[in-house]
Amino acid sequence: MDTFKRDIAKLTGTDFDVVIVGGGISGAWLALHCARSGYQTALLEQNDYASQTSSSSSKLLHGGIRYLQQFQFGKVRESAMERAHYIYAAPHLSKAVPFLIPTYRDFQRSKFFLNCGMLAYRLLTLGENRIIGDPDEILPPISSLKKAELDDVLDLGSEPHTGAVQFFERHMVNSERMVLAVLRSAADAGAQICNYCSALELQRQNQTVTGLVARDEVANTEFEISARLVINAAGPWIDELNSKANNKPASINGFAVGSHLIARRISERAIALTTKHQSETKLDRGGRHVFVIPWNGHSLIGTSYEEIEEPQRDLSPQASHVEQLLEAVNEALPTANLTTKDVVSGYSGLYPLRTENIENTVYQGSGEYVVVDHADADGIDGLLTALGAKYTTGRKLSALTMKRVQKKLGGSLNLSKVRLSSSNYDSLEDLHAVTTVQQHSWLSEATLTHLAHQYGSDLTGLLALAKEDSSLQQPISKRQPDINAQIIYAVQFEQARTLMDVLFRRTSIGLFPITHDEVHAAGQIMARAMSWNSAETDRQVDTVMARIQHVRKNIDAASISAGG
């Protein structure tokens, strides 16, 4: 029985213990922890799952190395431990990627100084491997590369480097699928999970929240949900709901937009490049870092940084963001010689800022989070706000919030480490062995591996769909390994409602070169599952193409404004 169904009737016909607003990584972990702890739980997301901030990072499960420069040693350890929980929960959804940090003769960028930091890092992260458990998933050790060794793998041109330090991070194949995997596990534990449901306002009796008024965005109808406790985990938009109850803001005093570019492959290894842009650190190695990460045959480059005054949902890389990132890469890695013609796509995300002094030129990304009990903050009971700033610490934010949930609702908590529902295998090696047995002539080894890292043990169901219909065995785009069966699977088992959901979140295929004919063919396949008429199918295709063309226009504008 598939538990991950969008069922409005169950939302209106149940007295919930907890209703969570927000379907990003923070809300997903809250839904899982609440359901596993025995609370009757529902989660509402007004758009698609992970369609905002949770889809817009560098897709790293970051082990906290960056916090060494800020002397935030507790955050270093916390991040590494949280990364370990993700690796244990869903090893198929991330891969170990080697990162190179070039070293130079000046002391602060020297190999000696950097290795001292790495030694501190190893000490601070002791115990991470016990959480991971599987020896095959433990991150390889930190190592040093001599000048000649670095020259063999990365051409820095005339840069007077002395080699590099190499460390490993875990890079998610698709950050949206990680959110989806947590949500599916929450549904399996009994939670009711629903996308395209907006929380319009809080219901109250005197000074106590008793539920929500919500709107089904699909049917365009309003309904009420009763709950003993509402948790607002809507990220940068938490104040939109809270302000309707005259609540105080949850310490958001600014917003930043971060953009990423997808460009031609620069290196087989990830590179951490220092830039001229300032960063809020105690110890500066030369400025804010920009990462260049190998991803799906391309390079993922990020992050740009820009403050804005008000939260915006429809974000895309601006010409200034493109220029900022290309300039940073070409200055630090002149042999890359990147131009806008090398950029195929990009995406942007909105991040809340909680610093006292906003500085437009200084990167102020923070791993901090806050849990607000509004009974204490402004005298309104039955409402918690959970605000996080980092994907990797979404589970930790949930665990901290759960202590407040237990205080208000009673019961006992189940916060133990958990394998997600799609991780029903002993090891990735075993997963590959099982799926190889099911391999058919139409499925290449490269496609099988790609799909296994997307779906884990759920791959069996996907292959069963493809086996029934040979047209579903064909690739969505000739440039990527994704197959048409994924479109039907997304509709039937993953609550996909739009072609954007499928091409940008259930897969990442919309971020890579894809033709109008390929998008239209994908739309026709989805139309069969959704019972769309030709007009609706065309509208869905036009929406996807408009997004692709808008990003392309902004990329090309960077070339014009930069004199390119």
Q: Are residues 48 and 152 in the same domain?
A: no
Q: What is the pLDDT of residue 249?
A: 53
Q: What is the pLDDT of residue 156?
A: 83
Residue 22 has pLDDT above 80, yes or no: yes
Does residue 35 sit in helix, strand or coil? helix
Please state, in angstroms and rounded to a whole number, the distance separating the CA atoms of residues 296 and 512: 9
Q: Dump pLDDT digits (tens) for 537-546.
A: 999 999 999 9
Give the number of C-alpha atoms closer than 13 A to the C-alpha of residue 113, restricted to the C-beta side. Answer: 16
> Is residue 100, in this structure, part of any structural domain at all?
yes
> Is residue 64, in this structure, part of any structural domain at all?
no
> Is residue 550, in this structure, part of any structural domain at all?
yes
Residue 136 has pLDDT above 80, yes or no: yes
> Is residue 75, in this structure, part of any structural domain at all?
no
Cβ neighbours, 10 Å, residue 277? 17
Domain final residue, candidates 344, 378, 409: 409
- Confidence band, pLDDT 50/70/90 cuts, at residue 92: very high
Please state, in angstroms and rounded to a whole number, the distance separating the CA atoms of residues 259 and 310: 17
Residue 321 has pLDDT above 80, yes or no: yes
Q: Are residues 486 and 401 in the same domain?
A: no
Q: Are residues 132 and 184 in the same domain?
A: no
| Token duo for residue 222 | 């309003």
Give the H or E element holding residue 272. strand 270-274
CATH number at 456 reads 1.10.8.870
- Write the DSSP string, 217-244: TTTTEEEEEEEEEEEE--GGGHHHHHGG
Q: What is the pLDDT of residue 286?
A: 46
One-letter amino acid identity for 446? A
One-letter amino acid identity for 162? T
The residue written with tokens 């991950």 in the block is 4
| Alpha helices (H) in 90-174, listed in sequence order | 111-124, 128-132, 147-153
CATH number at 204 reads 3.50.50.60
Mean pLDDT of 315-325: 93
Does residue 386 sit in helix, strand or coil? strand
Q: What is the pLDDT of residue 446?
A: 86
> Is residue 497, in this structure, part of any structural domain at all?
yes
Mean pLDDT of 67-85: 92
> Is residue 68, in this structure, part of any structural domain at all?
no
Measured in degrees and rounded to the nearest 5, phi and psi for residue 211 equal 155, -155
Give the H or E element holding residue 204. strand 197-205
Does residue 139 sit in helix, strand or coil? coil
DSSP designation for 44: E
Closest by CA position to 303, among listed 246, 236, 364, 258: 258
Which domain range does residue 330 map to? 91-171+253-363
Closest by CA position to 439, among listed 416, 462, 469, 414: 462
Q: Are residues 449 and 538 in the same domain?
A: yes
Mean pLDDT of 6-18: 94
The residue written with tokens 């990304």 in the block is 365
> Is residue 61, in this structure, part of any structural domain at all?
no
Residue 1 has pLDDT above 90, yes or no: no
Q: Are residues 306 and 348 in the same domain?
A: yes
Q: Are residues 359 and 384 in the same domain?
A: no
Q: Are residues 95 and 128 in the same domain?
A: yes
Tell me how many domains the chain contains.
Answer: 3
Q: Are residues 354 and 405 in the same domain?
A: no
Q: What is the pLDDT of residue 346?
A: 97
CATH number at 156 reads 3.30.9.10
Please state, in angstroms and rounded to a whole number, the distance separating the CA atoms of residues 162 and 138: 28
437 CB-near residues (< 8 Å, 6+ apart)? none
Q: What is the pLDDT of residue 441?
A: 66
Does residue 106 sit in helix, strand or coil? coil
Residue 419 has pLDDT above 90, yes or no: yes
**What average pLDDT does the structure give for the chain?**
90
Q: Are residues 359 and 507 in the same domain?
A: no
Q: Are residues 269 and 240 in the same domain?
A: no
Percent of the chain beyond pLDDT 70?
92
Specify the pairing of strand 41-45 against strand 192-195: parallel
Q: Are residues 398 and 547 in the same domain?
A: no
Please state, in angstroms and rounded to a whole number, the distance separating the CA atoms of residues 276 and 286: 7
- CA 427 to chain CA centroid, nearest Å: 23
Please state, in angstroms and rounded to a whole number, the distance separating the CA atoms of residues 384 and 377: 10
Mean pLDDT of 81-105: 96
Q: Are residues 381 and 506 in the same domain?
A: no
> Is residue 564, in this structure, part of any structural domain at all?
no
- Confidence band, pLDDT 50/70/90 cuts, at residue 246: low
Please state, in angstroms and rounded to a whole number, the distance separating the CA atoms of residues 169 and 37: 31
Measured in degrees and rounded to the nearest 5, phi and psi for residue 39 equal -85, 140
Q: pTM value?
A: 0.94
One-letter amino acid identity for 520? H
Mean pLDDT of 455-481: 93
Please state, in angstroms and rounded to a whole number, the distance separating the CA atoms of residues 37 and 412: 6
